Amino acid sequence: MTAIRPSTEHLRRTDAPLPAIPDPRQRTAVSVASVIGRQVFNVLAGRSGARSVREHLTATVFGNLLGLRLRGADHPEYRLRSVHACAIGDSAVEACLVVGAHRVRALALRLERRAERWVCTRLSPVERSAI
């Protein structure tokens, strides 16, 4: 008698949603910055409400976020292009998010682990300076 193996050939593939923030001990600097950075970027781009990321921001950063919007972010090609992050000890991450479509901008983040979650303690757009 032969064993019958179920075929997965006809099953549809779906992309899993981004996780909330799992156990902080299992996260790398880039993955923490990517998850929270994407949520912050979506708020700045006007694609989600600020309350969706509130639990991962300090009160000061939340207040600043409400006043910020990225110009041109409503363009469909405007997206999060890359995340660069560096762990600063066991409980802090500094990151840079590269965002944009044709014109590229950057956002700097500082994330700190507080109790069992990561919190964005600093957020600032990186301004182009004349050299």
Q: Model-level pTM greater than 0.85?
A: no
Query: How would you list the strands of the sheet with 79-87, edge to edge?
Result: 79-87, 92-100, 104-114, 117-126
Amino acid at position 120, single letter: C
Q: What is the pLDDT of residues 57-112, one digit of tens each?
A: 999 999 888 887 766 666 667 788 889 998 888 889 999 999 887 778 888 999 99
Coil, helix or strand for 86? strand
Structure tokens at 18: 């981004």
Q: What is the pLDDT of residues 11-50, one digit of tens each?
A: 444 444 444 554 454 458 888 899 998 898 888 888 888 8
Q: What is the pLDDT of residues 65-80, one digit of tens each?
A: 888 776 666 666 778 8
Torsion of CA 119, 82, 97, 22, to 10 degrees: 0
